[in-house]
Amino acid sequence: MDYRLLIKKLDMPADFSPPVRLVHDGIVATAIARADLEDDVRGINQSLDLIRRTRGGGWPTDPVAEEFNFVDLVWHELEFRERDSFTYVLRDSEGGYLGCCYLYPMGRRTPLTDSLLRYDVDVSWWVTPAAYEAGYYENTYRALRHWLATEYPFWNGYFSNREIPTE
């Protein structure tokens, strides 16, 4: 069967409340919101090449404007509230902006195949160049694995970044 046009809905218990704040090893992830607009625009625009290299995918193609990103943040808020996907802004323990991470249904970011049907969630992330140099790319990978194991009801996360840290 050709699954490439399908999106596998996130399977969560009806009473599950997705965490709006996650903390692990010096990284604080909070549900992205309009209040993050200025930091997010600056972070994305500083990181275009690094996002393409590490996260991959078709976004971003060009620098983002505040007006465009505002709509994107509102969309992410709606997706979070509706439990369709979960986008978090990443900050260090002092509140400094690091980047973003995404928990998407399988098929939304990465086309579904027979071998990908066994995964519950598509996990991706990016960090700014300064955060990358400081080791936060690898630390975020470890934090995401921890959060999936302890905070979310997903059994099997598919890490779809182009650059996956080695253990």
The answer to whether residue 3 is domain-embedded is: no
The answer to whether residue 113 is domain-embedded is: yes
The answer to whether residue 134 is domain-embedded is: yes
DSSP β-bridge partners for residue 89? 30, 100
CB atoms within 10 A of CB 58: 7
The answer to whether residue 31 is domain-embedded is: yes
The mean pLDDT values, 10 residues at a time, for the chain of 167 residues are: 87 94 97 98 98 95 96 97 97 98 96 93 98 98 96 92 90
The answer to whether residue 12 is domain-embedded is: no
The answer to whether residue 111 is domain-embedded is: yes
Instruction: Tell me the H-state helices in 124-163.
Output: 129-133, 136-150
Helix (H) or strand (E) holding 122: strand 121-127
The answer to whether residue 25 is domain-embedded is: yes
The confidence score (pLDDT) of residue 5 equals: 84
CATH number of the domain enclosing 100: 3.40.630.30
The answer to whether residue 2 is domain-embedded is: no
**CA 81, 163, 129, 137 torsion: positive or negative?**
positive
For the chain, what is the domain count? Answer: 1
Range of the domain at 43: 21-159
This prediction has a pTM of 0.95
Instruction: Write the secondary structure of 26-52 as one string of H (helix), E (strand) and C (coil).
Output: CEEEEECCHHHHHHHHHHHHHCHHHHH
